[in-house]
Amino acid sequence: MSEKELLSIITNYFEKKIFDNHKINALKTHSQLKSYKINPIIVKYLSKILEDDFTAIGIAKALYYPRILGTSINTSFGTRIQNMFVELELAEGSLIKGMDIEFIDKIDNRKKWCQLKSGPNTINSEDVKPLLRKFSTVTNLARTNSINLNNSDLILGVLYGEEDQLSQHYKKINEEFPVIIGKEFWHRITGFQDFYEALVSNLDKMTLSLDTEDFFKKGYMALAKEIESSDLFDLE
């Protein structure tokens, strides 16, 4: 498959499996009051700073905005990309606990066992030791089963960002196992040196041309309507 063909397929995958699914979930799930666990004190305050009043619209925005703009798409992003690599046969799902995918590195032609992370700041200090333990467990398992594997074959793949953006937590892991980020990671998994930059450019063009159908407003307005008829809030 050519670089151009792969770029087109992955760009389309982002549109259909990530962005369109985000829109569907916004309207189907996140616009329903039952999908939220509500702190009545905090939600009243957030309504006040958003609408300068305690209103159904203010409550809806306080609940809906962080869900749609943050957790709902960020939570699914890494899993979707992992599935994409497997579906496009760029990698295989790993049978080893703690690893996400396995693939043949297009730079050194060695098999890599990889755990995926989204961006350069997506782990916390408490994640470092468990991650290192997982990698060490795989190393020991390989030795036990006489698998030709060294530390450089176990990698933490970061989907976007630059090396100088990596947090100190990633740098700690990189002292023992390679953390491969952005351009180099996409080069290793696709075989095309400039694939990452081209993909970012393609995605920029695609997102600017998307028809959002005003789904964001439709979602919080539907939620506000449900809030108005709910017994949970005294809006008088």
Tens digits of residue pLDDT in 4-52: 999 999 999 999 999 999 999 999 999 999 999 999 889 999 999 999 9
* Strand positions, DSSP E, 53-126: 92-93, 101-104, 111-117
Q: Is the pLDDT of residue 62 over 80?
A: yes
pLDDT, tens only, 80-136:
999 999 999 999 998 888 889 999 999 999 999 999 999 999 899 999 999 999 888
Q: Is the pLDDT of residue 150 over 90?
A: no
Specify whether the CB–CB gap between 10 and 199 falls below 8 A: yes
- Looking at residue 11, its pLDDT comes to 96
- Quickly list DSSP for 168-190: HHHHHHHTTS-EEEHHHHHHHHH
Model confidence, pTM: 0.88
Report the b/e string of 53-64 with b at 16+ CB within 10 A: ebbbbbbbbbbb
CA distances from 202 to 29, 96, 119 (A): 29, 34, 19
The C-alpha atoms of residue 182 and residue 167 are separated, in whole angstroms, by 14
Specify whether the CB–CB gap between 17 and 84 falls below 8 A: yes
Q: Is the pLDDT of residue 221 over 80?
A: yes
Protein fold of 3-228: type ii restriction endonuclease, domain 2 (3.40.1560)
Position with higher pLDDT, 233 vs 167: 167
The whole-number average pLDDT for the span 181-201 is 97
For residue 53 the two structure tokens come to: 């009043």
How do the domains of the chain map onto residue ranges? 3-228
Kindly report the length of the chain: 236
- Looking at residue 149, its pLDDT comes to 75
